[in-house]
Structure 1
């Protein structure tokens, strides 16, 4: 018996359930922790740090699916004693949460919402072509990686972003490196909901939605301001103008962007794509400009350049 808490804490015979506060009508109205992350940051951080630490220090072979399985088992059996759980990862998460709950108790409903939130965070990285996408990211943001490991991880994320046609700012968002302000500023300037808190994925979706709702003049101003940093939107707008057969506006946009930004490789590719059906010769000209600019870029690794080169040459081959 712990005489300070009055709880039975013999090794293996404590449980999360013993530390929960009663659920109240007010608490039961909470359906999600989205937008309430700050209130529960200690608990969310404890769960994610437990997973990241276990991966980094104990078992580098565990996968995201192992973390998901552990969290679901803990959620389902939170009333069971620690001795019920067989996996070390589960025990570590539970023990660390109990230590926190002893001083800052929450209700069972809040606990389950907390687990659901982390499960959603893991699922949001399922598209990243890596069975350890979440676990590696957690170890990175928790500062567990060495400097060399962090650099390698950042390179891998930037390479993935380039492969998927995402901008450097998207890559920074994936790394949580602090460039969210650029996105928030854009959403706020063009009618974002005051006080609304968005997840990384929702934030990007909101920026895209806001951009597509702008007038043509506003879109041009935005693209001239952000250019290569948010080049996806250049592609959105050129595609939109192409569908409307407004090729004069496409040429006007091209002239303005190329005056401001040298060797804008994505612009050349987007221009080639816009003309590949109606003017193959002009499309080939833009693709060849993209090839020329490719060798001048220092931001891309040699392997990334070769992937780009192969893709562009394939487009040119289709024209020939």
Structure 2
């Protein structure tokens, strides 16, 4: 199923067809992936991590009422099914679209993408526990 990426506003909207995300993923056997992203390894995954966190930050700017739990749930949904199509404009859709675009520049295995989603999810949970219901969102908005 082909994904579409919409650019522009009003009468100036352009829809761009994108390859299915599964066609952009490398086979899991193509690379040896770590079991998790450890401290200091983030640089290796900057493109994918930035894509995920950038989508979250942009969504929060547009929807300031969301909470960290909404981010946790969105990440959990995507981890369950990386290729599922989500409702246009929802947080899952925005994150998935950014991952899709990042894969166009640097292909990764499904396992690597899932590791990045897990890494961000762990960060959200940590900031939420320390800084409250919008701890992660308020943290990330200052950096992205």
For Structure 1 versus Structure 2, the TM-score category normalised by the shorter chain is 0.7 to 0.9
Distance in 2 between the 1:79 and 1:108 partners?
10
1:23 Cα shift? Answer: 1.1
- TM (norm. structure 1) is 0.38
When the two structures are aligned, how many residues end up with a matched partner?
130
Task: State whether structure 2 residue 98 is matched by structure 1 residue 105.
Answer: no
Partner of 2:96: 94
Task: State whether structure 2 residue 34 is matched by structure 1 residue 41.
Answer: no
Give yes or no for contact 1:22–1:107 (8 Å, CA) kept in 2.
yes
Aligned residue for 1:115, secondary structure, equals: helix
Partner of 1:135: 137
1:25 Cα shift? Answer: 6.8
Partner of 1:119: 121
Pick from 52, 58, 78 the counterpart of residue 53 of structure 1.
Answer: 58
Distance in 2 between the 1:110 and 1:10 partners?
21
Give yes or no for contact 1:50–1:92 (8 Å, CA) kept in 2.
yes
Partner of 2:70: 66
Structure having greater relative contact order (Cα 8 Å, sep ≥ 6): 2
- TM (norm. structure 2) is 0.81
Q: How does 1:137-156 map to 2 (within 5 A)?
A: 137-142=139-144
Give yes or no for contact 1:15–1:78 (8 Å, CA) kept in 2.
no
Partner of 1:232: none
CA RMSD of aligned residues (A): 2.0
Give yes or no for contact 1:70–1:89 (8 Å, CA) kept in 2.
yes
Q: Which has the higher strand share?
A: 2
Aligned residue for 1:96, secondary structure, equals: helix
1:139 Cα shift? Answer: 0.4
Partner of 2:8: none
1:128 Cα shift? Answer: 2.7
Q: How does 1:1-320 map to 2 (within 5 A)?
A: 9-11=2-4, 15-24=20-29, 26-28=31-33, 30-34=34-38, 35-56=40-61, 58-80=62-84, 82=85, 85-86=86-87, 88-142=90-144
Aligned residue for 1:11, secondary structure, equals: strand
Distance 1:32-1:69 versus aligned 2 partners, 3 A rule? same
Residues 125-160 of structure 1 deviation map (CA, whole Å, 9 limit, x = unaligned)? 122342111011100112xxxxxxxxxxxxxxxxxx
Distance in 2 between the 1:118 and 1:9 partners?
27
User: Which segments of 5 or more consecutive residues in structure 1 lack a partner in the other structure?
Assistant: 1-7, 143-320
1:113 Cα shift? Answer: 0.7
Aligned residue for 2:105, secondary structure, equals: coil
